[in-house]
Chain A
């Protein structure tokens, strides 16, 4: 890490030199020297004490605390029959969710004819809803995606995923929007809820699994609870942000007209924040879909299940078919909610691209779109061709064929059950099993062709970076590493992150997973490093050139909508089952957001500054290295912080495809009952690691980010 140079601030205009001599407001920190000192201490002790007191534990060994947790789960599930809390409260909640999901499943995903809706009815209703909330293009998209799911032979699992996602988002909205409103109206509520949201958003998705399973067991209800909890924070946060961003001028004008509190909320604040809230729903929906697939590990219904079982037998083709289904659903949900938010253009108070998740805890990260990307978009002239009354009429008229389709789909087998296409030429190639075979053939061919390249890449990173660093982090006495982390936290961020680090270290030690945590940390650091190299390269290109931006941005947008779980599939296809695979998946997952933030910062450098520098005749490289990157420092720091959290989240999931360490322990906890406690502990350790990294990065950002 390079030493931080303290720059003299530009002289203030009008300040007289004699009166106000320049005083360096920051004391010299010598960050570079101190970090170097830590490094020397670390290396020396590593050489001296290598291999001792590493706290390494075989996967199947458990501590007494872990066993106690395993036992606790048994106790809890016994109590679920009688105890007032487990039976009365949690049981009721679970029953309600199961009932809801079960009812919807009967109608939407089940294919038996009878009094339930068949696929044709579902298609008609879904398209009608899309037309009502989003418009024509979304309607076509919904139709295509649903047909595709049917074609793939994933109608039932696909619908299950949709049900879990949508039920959870609806409940999130019922809970989240009021909480967001309350937070916007009362500083105290905000001060109480914000830290909770912070922790929730720092927690990698995998870490939610075991604690929720501890209380709710496994099954559809658990899946809803997980998804709902995971989808809640972005919605609450963005709702609060949207309401707080309503112009005080408008609020005052409203007050001067004598509005009551509820009129203020309903007629001024909510309409003006509507667009932002819809963006929040979009974010919440994408988070929900991501979790709904991961919930396959706790036996949640949906497309996650075929992915998991295919990954277990390393069948890339099968995993891909289900993965494609998930991607199709993701694109459908994203485009539909985005179109719905663009519909509310009139209330737009700012252009919002998307909002980071998991968030840089304390603030909402609103991704600002480049100016040209929304120029003209949503400007008054684009009005709808139909009047509101006309639209309502049209929707009413369209309802007739929808109802007819729905009724018919309950009566005729062909309309109830998605037709079997194995006899149809061409189309049969696209249906589930043949398609999986084709994909397998293709990846085999591809992997064979580029094996030299992929292996070289994998080996370079593994031997040059991953192995040495892992040895350095985990193959030495735990206390050396603990001291190194504490010292780094102190040097980078002061005493506050140091205290957090100490607490998190204590937690990791207490759950007995120090060594595995260090392995996860290694992978996280390596992946973050790679992410930042790629992000800076792409981001600088995008920030400097509109052409590059138009070229790359659509890819990043698409990558961002894909749920984390799906990234495992291509990574596995290319690199087989190894630690490196997890790192590749993390790269794919984290690069888009990190790149966008870097591009944002580069673009944000004042054009006048760039022009002035150009007039001094500096080269392009000088411009980038001496002007644009230093001035975009805040975005770089932010991007690193986000990259780190995304990477951690994915590296853990990568435990399923050879990443090992904490992620694998969680996964193992669900497949082997006697190891549940250890899996739960792994979840706790991950959370502690996430909080520790986030706090160090945040405080460092405050110090060096401006």
Chain B
């Protein structure tokens, strides 16, 4: 509906967590994935380029016993961005994130990290990348039960051969950063799930990597703890500003954390976009169904609800709002004004107006949306 009003020119993406996306001056992405494929099975390489890969997952599995894990995925992640990959269980998220550091070998395609092609690297350089540039946080923590918290955190540094004093200091720093002070000398099995995941987080941060990757890190936690940990990630992102690739099957989590969201289905990309784009302009019925329960006013920005001014003077004298503001946050101002308000873009020029009705349409539409989505689906 609002897609017509949407314009991209000069748009500055603001994530929901409020951290501005940092682009390096030359604009090289931190991570570049191109035409990445993963086919599980004995003769996966031979399948690449054949017509068999056009088949659906089920058909291919029935025909040759091969399973498509990731199907022709390409995307870029900018430095400092939080890039969320979302999809149902079995959609290939874990496989995708493991292809990036070749914990699973890609069948074809390229992964470029800091200008270097990971897929062409030998084992030694790959190990260096894993030690220094990319760290990962896992759903099931993967901690070493025989080591204390502090030694778990320092493990990555130990593996790359740093001496004891230096790695202790660094580990202590990170332990403080994630709020684990006082637990350094405990063993993992003495901690709660949330605390264990903090250890996992600290271990990943200790190496001071360029990119942090999370594979459903909070799925195993209780809802309240999960919320705490999400806020923790937001805080850390503000403090250390790392590029993050975050896997989740939870849409709320994706919308809360992501600067951009990649939605996967059966190993392939369905949509890539900012949270407001995913909610405001779902690429297909699958995504629409997904986002139907989301309170739109909490996600959409004014640029999705504004209309072109009917004349040059419309809204003059009223409050001026930014087009990147969330509808919910702007609602009070608009409703109190009882008239059209001007909406300006990043450079300050007027791009549209909103009034009470525009706001109400989004808020009220939330109640209808499930029905609307069902209609669209049928």
Contact = CB atoms under 8 A, between A and B. Distances in A.
Interface of A: 247, 249-260, 263, 267-268, 271-272, 274, 346-349, 380
A258 B138 contact: no
Contacts of B135: 256-257
Given A252-B142, A253-B143, 4 more contacts: A256-B103, A257-B135, A258-B131, A272-B146
A268 B155 CA distance: 10
B128 A268 contact: no
A404 B190 CA distance: 43
Contact of A258 (B143, B145, B159): B159
Interface in B142-159: 142-147, 155-156, 158-159
Nearest to A255: B103
A255 B130 CA distance: 8
A249 B144 CA distance: 10
A565 B129 CA distance: 59
Given A256-B101, A257-B130, A258-B131, A250 B156 contact: no
Contacts of A268: 144
B131 A257 contact: yes
Contacts of A256: 101, 103, 130, 134-136, 138
Contacts of A349: 145
A27 B190 CA distance: 52
Contacts of A247: 140, 142
Q: Which 4 A-B pairs have the closest CB atoms?
A: A253-B142, A258-B130, A258-B131, A347-B146
A361 to B, nearest CB: 30
A257 B189 contact: no
B127 A253 contact: no
Contacts of A347: 145-146
B140 A346 contact: no
A299 to B, nearest CB: 45
A250 B142 contact: yes
A388 to B, nearest CB: 12
Interface of B: 101, 103, 126-131, 134-136, 138, 140-147, 155-156, 158-160, 186-187, 189-190, 200, 203, 207
Contacts of A272: 144-146
Contacts of B200: 253
B140 to A, nearest CB: 4
Contacts of A267: 144, 155, 158-159
A468 B128 CA distance: 75
A249 B146 contact: no
A249 B197 CA distance: 13
B130 A249 contact: no
A641 to B, nearest CB: 34
A32 to B, nearest CB: 40
A250 B143 contact: yes
27 contacts: A247-B142, A249-B140, A250-B142, A250-B144, A253-B136, A253-B138, A253-B141, A253-B142, A253-B143, A255-B103, A255-B130, A256-B134, A256-B135, A258-B127, A258-B128, A258-B159, A259-B127, A259-B159, A260-B127, A271-B144, A272-B144, A272-B145, A346-B145, A346-B187, A347-B146, A348-B145, A380-B186
A263 B159 contact: yes
A252 B156 contact: no
A257 B159 contact: yes
A6 B130 CA distance: 54
B325 to A, nearest CB: 39
Given A249-B140, A349-B145, A257 B207 contact: yes
Nearest to A381: B190
Nearest to A349: B145
Contacts of B140: 247, 249
B365 to A, nearest CB: 35
Given A253-B138, A256-B103, A263-B159, A380 B189 contact: yes
